[in-house]
Amino acid sequence: MVAFGLEEGQGAAVMFSAGLDSAVLLAQAARQDRVQPVYVRAGLAWEDEELGLAERLLRTAPYLDSRTILPMVVLAIDMRDVHPATHWAVRGDPPGADTPDEDVYLEGRNVVLLSKVGVFAAHRKMTRILIGTLAGNPFADARPQFFDAMGQALTLGLGAPLAIEAPLTTMDKRDVILAGRSLGVPLELTMSCMRPSAGVHCGRCSKCRERRDGFRDAGVPDPTVYEADRGTGSGASSISA
């Protein structure tokens, strides 16, 4: 069992997207405190699919049975006035599986999401925001120094104590999958894809590659349906609703 050392308090807002990382983070956090899953829409192509699976995931154990998980809140901060209509994340055409992480970088994404969630958390008198960043994340807004500074800025700007915690930063995808199994997270209902369709992963983007690699490295059968594998005899049965 992985223990993240959450402190008792007035509860935590958990940034939740139905991905492997945030699903495991929410399940573990709920064992230690009252938690509020928060999904933030930003006008990106995969959000309808992601949000639908987030809602479905929360209707299953271990989330449905938890007395410490509040109903999910959906916030919005439209970034389509920053990203042009031709941007891959708006158009829904991500770089391929063999591309580096830098090719899918969205400038300031955590800055924007944490700002919105911070205002929400302060309004609800919550004192912490949890985010599921993993080890090896190369982006500037995923570093411990950034989370510390952002927490201080939100505290000063909102006049309320607010800390940003990233409890998974010592873990990789393999560790997350193993932790998810121990927590009873239905891994087949999580979504790690930038071009999903009807609950099915595309199998061609770098997020799908990371997911495949994580299950392989964990020695856990991958229950995911990948569109790229259909007709080849690979993959599991569809999870679409």
Give pLDDT tens digits for 21-67: 999 999 999 999 999 999 999 999 999 999 999 999 999 999 998 99
Q: Where are the alpha helices (DSSP H) in the chain?
A: 20-29, 47-57, 88-91, 109-123, 144-158, 173-183, 206-218
Rounded mean pLDDT of 91-97?
87
pLDDT of residue 197: 93
| Mean confidence (pLDDT) of the chain | 91
Choose between 79 and 232: higher pLDDT. 79
* Domain architecture of the chain: domains with CATH: 12-192 (3.40.50.620)
User: Confidence class of residue 4 from pLDDT cuts 50, 70 and 90?
Assistant: very low
pLDDT of residue 232: 56
Residue with tokens 């991958």: 222
User: Confidence class of residue 135 from pLDDT cuts 50, 70 and 90?
Assistant: very high
pLDDT in tens, 143-173: 999 999 999 999 999 999 999 999 999 999 9
pLDDT of residue 100: 78
pLDDT cut 90: percent of the chain above it: 80
**CA–CA distance, 152 with 132 (Å, rounded to integer):** 19
Highest mean pLDDT among 89-93, 100-104, 220-224: 220-224
Which structure tokens are listed for 82? 């920053």
Q: Which residues of 7-24 are buried (b: 16+ CB within 10 A; e: fewer)?
A: eeeebbbbbbbbbbbbbb
